[in-house]
Amino acid sequence: MVLATILVFCIPVGFILLVCVAIGVAGANSYRTGKRAYIDLKPYISELSGKAARIQQKGTDFADRGARIGSTFEEIAGRWAFVTETISESTHSPVTKAVGIAGRFLKK
């Protein structure tokens, strides 16, 4: 009877302990495998983060270049407006009209 009582109470406890040990061993194996994988992948991760930083810097440089090109075009447009305004003023000035009239008299 004592043996039956021990088997009835100890076998379930033993199975529970066996399951806990199996879970612990599986967790330890997963931890070791993950640690090895991290050590193997760490150089690649560092390289990728460096490449990402370089790509971000290139994107920023590209945006800055675009802004400088835009400001250059605005400056060119302003200069072109000045040139067209100057030409317009010179064609409508009294001196130009007088030269045109003098040129007509000289042709005849």
Instruction: Compute the Cα dihedral for 17, 18, 21, 23 and give only its sign.
Output: negative
Q: Where are the domains of the chain?
A: 12-107
Distance, in Å, from the CA atom of 3 to the CA atom of 17, rounded to the nearest integer, reads 20
Residue 104 structure tokens: 């007509």
| H-helix or E-strand spanning residue 1 | none
According to the model, what pLDDT value does residue 104 have? 76
Tens of pLDDT along 62-92?
Answer: 999 989 999 999 999 988 988 888 888 777 7
Helix, strand, or coil here: 73?
helix
According to the model, what pLDDT value does residue 107 have? 61
Of 35 and 101, the one with more pLDDT: 35
Tens of pLDDT along 4-59?
Answer: 888 888 888 889 999 999 999 999 999 999 999 999 988 888 888 889 889 999 99
Distance, in Å, from the CA atom of 64 to the CA atom of 62, rounded to the nearest integer, reads 5
